Chain A
Amino acid sequence: MTRLEFMQGNTACAEGALAAGCRFYGGYPITPSTEIAEHMARKMPKIGGVFAQMEDELASIASVIGASWTGARAMTATSGPGFSLMMENIGYAVMTETPCVVVDVQRGGPSTGQPTRASQGDMMQCRFGSHGDMSIIAVSPASVQEMYELTAEAFNLADRYRVPAFVMTDEIIGHMRERIEVPDSVEIVPRRPLEKGALPFAPGEDDVPGFPAFGHGYGVHVTGLTHDDRGYPSSTDPHVHERLVRRLVGKVEGANREIADYEVTNPDAEVVFVSYGAPARSVAQAVRDLDDERVGHLRLKVVWPFPDFALAAFKNARVFLVPELNLGQIEREIARHTAVPVVPISEIGGELHTPQRLIATAEGYL
């Protein structure tokens, strides 16, 4: 049984997290993400969870990582300026293989920019914002329904791969209100515990070690320094570093097909839109209005790791059109993976692409 509700995107994000078993929220208010914190503040105490309003974003993500090490599903939400402040500790979460979920309700940047206007300007920051080589997972909802579903799924992905998972949404989706179907329960893929006697950072069969939660007698030492399979610092040995960092990147990139989630419309198309998040809504309308099998749509629900193989679903593609709320971030990633011309359709300032603009652009290539 599902129930129908009329809900705001940010509320749906918080509800999806709660349904997925999130029991720790550490955050700092920032527009346009604040409703997530406010909803968590109301709900968490009633279900035995913890809401902590920390002193800043650095503390927020730090508290989330600390909570995660007790085995709890833990989350924070922020927007661009706060997201930048979290970057060091996001790298720490990658290095220490700490599952956690970070929601970025993107607004116009750089700097304080446009607090109340939508953007997709942080897509590369979530991928590469912290220092060093790394890989992360990022989902991008295009509706309030998906805010619920993909936030819940982000927890499963974070736990499955022991990596920070990002919900890269934007002000439009965060503040939009839509009717959604709220399920009785969502699928929960629990964190696999470390087998007793196994080494806490040894690769294991799929490069993802079991998780040695605090308070269970593992006696695990967790450090952001380059560490060996025991978790002990070994920061000057090039082989230890290379083996560790290649595994951290490989465990995510190697599971690209398993993690990928996307929709293909008109696979025989010659002119193909590639989109994620809010612009996917305008693309869907444009494709409906054009009603031409020569125009297709690849909609990404998981953006990182980038599903390069999905581009090959369009065998006849002559051009990829990429509408984004930035000056071309995922567009460049697409260009890395195809010989077909890739054309950005940028919209910055907070307005969404109109279907008419997208139709006019597509018609130019037909």
Chain B
Amino acid sequence: MNYQDWLRADRLPHIYCAGCGNGTVINCTLNAVNQIGWAPEDTVFVSGIGCSSRAPGYIITDSLHTTHGRAIPFATGVKLSRPDLHVVVFTGDGDLASIGGNHFIHGCRRNIDLTVVCMNNYIYGMTGGQGSPCTPLGAVTTTTPYGCHEPPFDLASLAVAAGANYVSRWTSYHVQELTRAVKAGLETPGFSLIEAVVQCPTGYGRRNKLREAQDMIAWMRDHAVLLKRWKRMEEEGTPHDPTTFPVGEFVRRNLPVTGVPK
């Protein structure tokens, strides 16, 4: 199969805005699934609510588009009941970290065999660009018109602390790295989080001097710091530029898992 064969052709065109980064993440994910060679009938995509969560609707497998924040417990039910099925969760920063925050940490704690791909666009996209738990300090959204004054969640570090077996962060600029990360997540038993920072020119970029999609992709390229370098800077005592963020593989380990075939 080609990764494009995983798309539900009769549902296209999709509803994403021009310039949206979600399509890149879907492509990377389907590429990874396709490279592993899973059969579509053995694969299930699950999502909550929001832009990210429309993704399963464009994929030919069995799929559940559920309620806001609840994708992980729905996926947990599928996986525990049929451990032989491969279960992939698409989610967004609002879906995963805010309303779904409790499910997220408990999914990591259980180390249930799911691969969670989070499209982090720093806002609630589908409701029109409100602030999320991942909105950077100072960023302007429709609910932070004077600049976000709350510090954001670091999803990758949270997942590591809560017990996930595999955690990576990349961006929609890092297409090859992102695809490899998703593949590693799919292949690692237990809970995998792949955080993909994506551009949202419509909801986020135009309020934050990144009006064009390529502006934000360039911003991600320039502000993403490889994790190795990030850690080296810490060792050297070099302060991080607060507008930068680390990308790379945060953890790959073999803690006890649930939801794998006996």
Binding site for B on A (CB under 8 A): 23-24, 26, 50, 52, 54-56, 58-60, 62-70, 72, 74, 88-89, 92, 212, 214-225, 232-233
Contacts and interface: CB of A to CB of B under 8 A. Distances in A.
A217 B41 CA distance: 5
Interface string B42-78: 1010100000000011001111111100101111111
List the 3 closest pairs (A to B, CB-CB), nearest first. A66-B77, A63-B77, A59-B73
Contact of B66 (A215, A217, A224): A224
A221 B56 contact: yes
A70 B61 CA distance: 13
Nearest to A219: B60
Given A70-B81, A214-B62, A224-B66, A63 B44 contact: no
Contact of A63 (B57, B80, B82): B80
24 contacts: A50-B81, A54-B76, A55-B102, A58-B70, A62-B74, A62-B76, A62-B77, A63-B73, A63-B74, A63-B76, A64-B77, A66-B73, A66-B74, A69-B62, A70-B82, A89-B67, A214-B62, A214-B82, A219-B40, A219-B62, A222-B65, A223-B65, A225-B65, A232-B57
Given A66-B75, A219-B41, A232-B11, A24 B81 contact: yes
A324 B70 CA distance: 35
B216 interface: no
Contact of B67 (A54, A92, A216, A220): A92
Given A55-B106, A59-B103, A233-B57, A67 B77 contact: yes
A308 B78 CA distance: 38
A52 B76 contact: yes
Given A62-B70, A219-B60, A67 B81 contact: yes
B229 interface: no
Interface of B: 8, 11, 40-42, 44, 46, 56-57, 60-67, 70, 72-82, 84-85, 102-103, 106
B84 to A, nearest CB: 8
Contacts of A60: 73
Contacts of B81: 23-24, 50, 66-67, 70, 72, 74
B60 A67 contact: no
A55 B103 contact: yes
A220 B8 CA distance: 11
Of the candidates A68, A92, A215, the one having the most CB atoms from chain B within 10 angstroms of its own CB is A215
